[in-house]
Amino acid sequence: MADQGLFEFADIPDWEQAAAEDVQVADVVFNLPLEKPYTYSIPDEFRELLKAGMRVKTSLGRGNRSVIGYCVKVRQAESAVRKLKPIEEVLDTEPLLSQNMLELTNWIASRYLCGWGQVLESVIPAGVRRRSGTRLVSSYELSANASRIIATGKLPQKQQVVVDVLLKADGPIPAARLCELADCGPGPLNTLKKKGILTPIRIRSEVAGGMQGDVEVTQDLVLNSQQEGVLKQIIASLQSGEHRTMLLHGATGSGKTEVYIRSIREVVSYGRQAIVLVPEISLTPQTIRRFRSRFSSVAVLHSHMSDAERHWQWQQIASGEIEVIVGARSAVFAPTPNLGLIVIDEEHEPTFKQDNTPRYHAREVARYRCQQENVPLLLGSATPTLESWLRATRRQDDLLSMPDRVAELPLPPVVIVDTRNDPRINRGASIGRALFTSIGRALQDKGQVILFLNLRGYSPTVWCRSCGTGVKCPDCDITLTWHRDRQEAVCHSCDYSIPAPEKCPVCESAAVRYFGTGTQKLEEEVAAAFPKATVLRMDSDSMKKPGSHDEALEKFRHGHVDILLGTQMIAKGLDFPNVTLVGVIDADSMLNQPDMRAAERTFQLIAQVAGRTGRSSRGGRVLVQTTSPDDASVKYASKHDYLGFASHELHQRKDSGAPPFSCVTRIIFRGLNEPQVNETSRTVADKLRKAAKLKDPEVRVLGAAPAPITRLRGYWRFHIQVCAPTAERVKQLWQYVEDRLTLPDGVEMAVDVDPINSR
């Protein structure tokens, strides 16, 4: 867990006061949960070199241990200053962050109640900090006398191949690469060097990771009238030179991506850059391919890149040479010197919220960054978050609407199937009678099928029928999931695994049973029910290799797969015209979560997965299996009625004072000693309640109480919820209390502003 407990700074010595004239000092922050920077003196040798945005090494604490920190400001000292500790070393030759980025990261620290240094450590990739890929590499080129020496005699075949490779090259080639191209070992290179034919040199390595590949250039698509209307509004905002946040509410298949591309082209025509945030970079190969086919320079930032590739990309973006940056949430920090637009596609996705410190939401960071630089922010979704929708309906943001699909295709009909009395379900099957019949009909008509189930593994519950106890992970308060292919019961939180249990660990009975259906069991059932169909499963277990997502989707696109089944990774961003049926196996697995956003997420997932069909003249239909057919989120999703759902859910939230009508902050405590963690959380809760009564009676403090998952990875967990009308009032209360907090050794604390899960 990246979050750290509060630090006591009583060990930092008091410094003597000393007079100073014309003295420059540096404000430095560290990767610790601190609020205020520490001030250090700048030795003469660093005075011309040190700038804000550079890393420095200096001592911290009574033990004078050297720590790496970030210089956030260089300023003139007051006439009378303390005798300060000096900066010991400057680690960078150029600032890693611009002044705007320093202001942005400071805002994140303030908004999300964490240390400025923690934010900086998260924002700057490790490869950039280490300057990966810039080391000197042994390389070779032909010497000035190479031609004359070669002319005196015939070279052996392998040596001649090396020479031929270098004759065709534009410059020196790294030794390893030269051996690869010439299909030889280092021997021929050493011999040619001794003969005076090759000259060894040392050059800096260059890594062109994630850049333009062999992608066919494609032409613009023809826009329909609603796309044209929306594009005109976006271009007007771009030309205004002012910040506006625009929410593009477009039905699935309405052509939002083409609008993004045309908007970005306008930005690029001004000589500026655009950032496009997508929910999960590895799951959107189609989107990336479309951008690369339309722009000359596209950088793709994702977690599979090496440190050297990431550093190289960072340099290219910072130089202004990249037109479009596509990436997951961290791409919001791309160092664009000429930012003109940020686009967030599928803005409702929870992956835009970071789940460890700093726990920022990319949408809010993008909003602040766009305000800083006076450029527009474009949010797009068929099922926007209620936070974004409320802002748009209150006219704090501009609402753009594309309610119709391209080519006037209708949205597919959605049928709610009540499975409570379904004969197939009652016999233990996962596919009910109606869905079974529909799959057979779709395959007979040469259509493709997508089946959605948001539970991986074979059986999600391992349970003892004798004592009624679930077989749980010893380190987590979570029931193990049976993975039949591995013959193991696995914890999906910490990856703890045991061989499939033959006896209950509690009562030692042999009556251990496996209940429920995961994607592995569903795959087996589908393959047995439709033996002539080709079935492919997509979940985090089957898609571990780099590029496996793209490979699987290409198979499906080209018709080599009849039935695609999987978790939520198949519910977004896919456009396959031959899909004529979508089946949601169990809508209740999403609905019955202990989460205030469960209804919203259920609606979003059903609506999004339903949007994968009916994207051609062949049409399509959707079947949603549920035991809660009367639930509002299921009923509204079956009608594709986002407006109705949003109105209903916002009414419910307003009555209960839940977000977006309030700000919720969750404070989580964890430690190995349960009584100690419990006592600490209760002490902090009491202090918050007393402070709220004194400072802001409208702030509500709930808890302390055990977290829904009370034990996780061996740590006991308790939490507090603070609810207030605005985030600023939560911040004021927390800052008042934080100065009075001292956590005992062994207890860690994390603060999560605007949490999106409550596990």
Q: Which of 595, 620, 653 is the last residue of a domain?
A: 653
pLDDT on residue 705: 95
Do residues 446 and 577 both lie within one domain?
yes
Residues near 298 by beta carbon (within 8 Å), at least 6 away in sequence: 211, 212, 288, 291, 292, 322, 323, 324, 325, 326
Are 378 and 248 in contact by the 8 Å Cβ rule? The answer is: yes
pLDDT on residue 15: 40
Q: How confident is the model at residue 149 (pLDDT cuts 50, 70, 90)?
A: confident
Range of the domain at 601: 410-460+516-653
Do residues 437 and 351 both lie within one domain?
no
Do residues 109 and 25 both lie within one domain?
yes
Q: Which of 103-107, 640-644, 678-682, 740-744 has the lowest mean pLDDT?
A: 740-744
Do residues 456 and 585 both lie within one domain?
yes
**Res 274 pLDDT > 90:** yes
Mean of pLDDT values over 693-702: 92
HSE-up of residue 453 (Cα within 13 Å, Cβ side)? 26
735 phi and psi angles, rounded to 5 deg: -65, -35
Q: CA-CA distance, 85 to 66, in Å (whole number)? A: 11
**Res 399 pLDDT > 70:** yes
Q: How confident is the model at residue 621 (pLDDT cuts 50, 70, 90)?
A: very high
Q: For residue 598, give the H/E element and its range.
A: helix 598-610
The number of residues making up the chain comes to 759
Q: How confident is the model at residue 501 (pLDDT cuts 50, 70, 90)?
A: confident
**Res 624 pLDDT > 70:** yes
pLDDT on residue 205: 56
Do residues 733 and 702 both lie within one domain?
yes
Q: CA-CA distance, 715 to 630, in Å (whole number)? A: 39
Query: Buried b / exposed e across 173-195, counting CB within 10 Å, b at 16+?
Result: bebeebbebbebeeebbebbeeb
Are 30 and 84 in contact by the 8 Å Cβ rule? The answer is: no
pLDDT on residue 700: 94
Q: CA-CA distance, 85 to 83, in Å (whole number)? A: 7
Mean of pLDDT values over 412-426: 93
From the list 571, 542, 543, 577, the residue with the least C-alpha distance to 557 is 577
Q: What ranges make up the beta strands (E) of 687-757?
A: 700-712, 715-724, 747-753
**Res 24 pLDDT > 90:** no
Mean of pLDDT values over 577-585: 93
Are 301 and 335 in contact by the 8 Å Cβ rule? The answer is: no
pLDDT on residue 33: 84
Q: Which of 128-137, 311-320, 445-454 has the lowest mean pLDDT?
A: 128-137
User: Is 476 domain-assigned?
Assistant: no
Q: How confident is the model at residue 204 (pLDDT cuts 50, 70, 90)?
A: low
Do residues 338 and 432 both lie within one domain?
no
**Res 9 pLDDT > 80:** no
| Token code pair at residue 684 | 């902090």
Q: Which of 80, 96, 124 is the last residue of a domain?
A: 124
Residue ranges in 285-349 assigned as alpha helix (H): 285-292, 307-318
Q: How confident is the model at residue 176 (pLDDT cuts 50, 70, 90)?
A: confident
Q: How confident is the model at residue 681 (pLDDT cuts 50, 70, 90)?
A: very high
User: Is 229 domain-assigned?
Assistant: yes
User: Is 510 domain-assigned?
Assistant: no
User: Is 465 domain-assigned?
Assistant: no
93 phi and psi angles, rounded to 5 deg: -95, -20
Q: For residue 91, give the H/E element and its range.
A: none
Question: Is 724 or 80 the better-scoring residue by pLDDT?
Answer: 724
Q: Which of 339, 373, 407 is the last residue of a domain?
A: 407
CATH number at residue 170: 1.10.10.10
CATH number at residue 403: 3.40.50.300
Are 600 and 639 in contact by the 8 Å Cβ rule? The answer is: no
Burial of residue 588 (number of CB atoms within 10 Å: 0-12, 13-18, 19+): middle
Cα separation values, 477 from 210, 331, 393, 491, 518, Å: 40, 34, 41, 10, 20
Cα separation values, 211 from 123, 294, 303, 561, 573, Å: 21, 14, 15, 30, 22
Share of the chain above pLDDT 90, in %: 58
Do residues 626 and 589 both lie within one domain?
yes
Mean of pLDDT values over 616-643: 92
Mean of pLDDT values over 638-666: 95
Q: CA-CA distance, 723 to 725, in Å (whole number)? A: 7
Q: How confident is the model at residue 170 (pLDDT cuts 50, 70, 90)?
A: confident
Mean of pLDDT values over 558-579: 86
* Sign of torsion over alpha carbons 96, 102, 106, 111: negative
User: Is 493 domain-assigned?
Assistant: no
Q: CA-CA distance, 32 to 54, in Å (whole number)? A: 17
pLDDT on residue 625: 95
pLDDT on residue 152: 80
Domain count, the chain: 5
Do residues 415 and 536 both lie within one domain?
yes
Do residues 284 and 164 both lie within one domain?
no
Q: How confident is the model at residue 573 (pLDDT cuts 50, 70, 90)?
A: low
User: Is 31 domain-assigned?
Assistant: yes
Q: Which of 188-202, 230-244, 391-405, 680-694 has the lowest mean pLDDT?
A: 188-202
CATH number at residue 78: 3.40.1440.60
Mean of pLDDT values over 307-331: 90
Burial of residue 738 (number of CB atoms within 10 Å: 0-12, 13-18, 19+): middle
**Res 7 pLDDT > 60:** no
pLDDT on residue 79: 57
Residue with tokens 């009849």, as numbered in its chain: 562
User: Is 575 domain-assigned?
Assistant: yes
Q: CA-CA distance, 657 to 645, in Å (whole number)? A: 18
Q: CB neighbours (10 Å) of residue 86?
A: 12
Most confident of 154-168, 253-267, 492-506: 253-267
Contacts 24+ apart (CB under 8 A), 528-535: 529/431, 529/436, 529/439, 530/439, 530/440, 530/443, 530/562, 530/563, 532/443, 533/443, 533/562, 533/563, 534/560, 534/561, 534/562, 534/563, 535/561, 535/562, 535/563, 535/565
Share of the chain above pLDDT 70, in %: 92
User: Is 131 domain-assigned?
Assistant: no
Q: What ranges make up the beta strands (E) of 475-527?
A: 481-483, 488-490, 497-499, 512-515
* Sign of torsion over alpha carbons 94, 97, 98, 99: negative
pLDDT on residue 10: 34
Do residues 302 and 364 both lie within one domain?
yes
**Res 153 pLDDT > 70:** yes
Q: CA-CA distance, 246 to 375, in Å (whole number)? A: 11
From the list 661, 581, 626, the residue with the least C-alpha distance to 412 is 581
Are 133 and 205 in contact by the 8 Å Cβ rule? The answer is: yes
Do residues 93 and 159 both lie within one domain?
no
pLDDT on residue 322: 94
* Sign of torsion over alpha carbons 110, 111, 113, 116: negative
**Res 207 pLDDT > 60:** no
Are 33 and 7 in contact by the 8 Å Cβ rule? The answer is: yes
Both ends of the chain: CA-CA distance in Å? 15
Q: CA-CA distance, 332 to 343, in Å (whole number)? A: 10
CATH number at residue 721: 3.30.70.600
pLDDT on residue 210: 44
690 phi and psi angles, rounded to 5 deg: -65, -40
Do residues 35 and 171 both lie within one domain?
no
From the list 374, 344, 183, the residue with the least C-alpha distance to 278 is 344
Q: CB neighbours (10 Å) of residue 468?
A: 10
Q: How does the average pLDDT of the chain come out, rounded?
A: 88
**Res 662 pLDDT > 60:** yes
Q: CB neighbours (10 Å) of residue 100?
A: 14
Burial of residue 365 (number of CB atoms within 10 Å: 0-12, 13-18, 19+): buried
Is it true that the peptide bond before 358 is cis, omega within 30 degrees of 0?
yes
